[in-house]
């Protein structure tokens, strides 16, 4: 083989090098272990992965702390823009400001996850990831978790936001089916 055409070095995420796998192996989170593990160890091992808040997304997380679902809205063409970004993808205006949504929509698609890709989920399986099409605008979609029972075919069913207060800084917007959980 001519020199210089060799195979580029590849980082292999084997069990020895993959930090998530290592965290999983080290985490005392298997259901059989829960009964005997001290609570402080469990809290350290299974903290929920949380978003990193930056200047572009701070308004969103400040809104969720108040249990308000905010998204950027273009002052020129009045379209909602998600995810947060400096320029409207419809009209290229940079006149964007946060506006509140109803928190209602329908299930656009969903998947029931049966494998924990992070130790936090190890004893919370299965859980349902959902893409919600929000009521305010066709095509305005939001990735979240669907809590409560998930019917075999949830596509098109109405959902409403519910709030999970994780800590002083982060409240997560999750969704549940309308009519589930005792609320309209």
Taken as a whole, the chain contains a residue count of 184
Q: For Zn ion, which is the closer residue by CB, 78 or 169?
A: 78
Q: For Zn ion, which is the closer residue by CB, 88 or 116?
A: 88
Smallest separation (angstroms) from Zn ion to the CB of 82: 13
Residue 86: exposure state from Cβ atoms within 10 A (0-12, 13-18, ≥19)? exposed
Q: Quick one: which of 99, 72, 74 has its CA closest to 83?
A: 72
Structure tokens at 167: 């800590």
Smallest separation (angstroms) from Zn ion to the CB of 70: 17
Q: For Zn ion, which is the closer residue by CB, 99 or 112?
A: 99
Q: What values do phi and psi take at 128, rounded to 5?
A: -115, 120
Dihedral (C-alpha) 99, 100, 104, 107: value to the nearest 10 degrees? 40
- CA-CA distance, 75 to 184, in Å (whole number)? 32
Q: For Zn ion, which is the closer residue by CB, 74 or 122?
A: 74
Q: For Zn ion, which is the closer residue by CB, 76 or 149?
A: 76
Q: For Zn ion, which is the closer residue by CB, 136 or 177?
A: 136
Instruction: Find out whether 85 and 93 touch, Cβ atoms under 8 Å.
Output: no
Dihedral (C-alpha) 30, 31, 35, 36: value to the nearest 10 degrees? -20
Q: Which residues bind Zn ion (CB under 5 A)?
A: 74, 76-77, 88, 90-91, 93
Q: What values do phi and psi take at 31, rounded to 5?
A: -50, -40
Smallest separation (angstroms) from Zn ion to the CB of 88: 3
Smallest separation (angstroms) from Zn ion to the CB of 98: 15
Smallest separation (angstroms) from Zn ion to the CB of 178: 30
Smallest separation (angstroms) from Zn ion to the CB of 180: 35
Helix and strand counts by DSSP (H, E) for the chain = 4, 8
């Amino acid at each position: 083989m001519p020199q210089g055409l060799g195979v580029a070095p590849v980082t292999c995420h084997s069990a020895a090098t993959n930090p998530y796998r290592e965290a999983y192996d080290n985490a005392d989170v298997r259901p059989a272990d829960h009964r005997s593990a001290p609570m402080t160890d469990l809290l350290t091992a299974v903290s929920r992965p949380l978003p990193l808040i930056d200047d572009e997304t701070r308004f969103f997380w400040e809104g969720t702390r108040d249990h308000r679902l905010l998204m950027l809205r273009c002052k020129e063409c009045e379209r909602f823009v998600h995810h947060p970004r400096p320029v409207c993808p419809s009209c290229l205006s940079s006149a964007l400001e946060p506006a509140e949504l109803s928190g209602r929509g329908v299930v656009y698609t969903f998947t029931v996850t049966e494998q924990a890709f992070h130790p936090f989920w190890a004893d919370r399986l299965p859980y349902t990831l959902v893409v919600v099409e929000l009521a305010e605008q066709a095509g305005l979609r939001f990735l979240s978790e669907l809590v409560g029972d998930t019917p075999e075919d949830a596509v098109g069913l109405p959902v409403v936001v519910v709030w999970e207060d994780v800590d002083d800084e982060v409240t997560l917007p999750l969704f549940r089916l309308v009519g589930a959980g005792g609320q309209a």
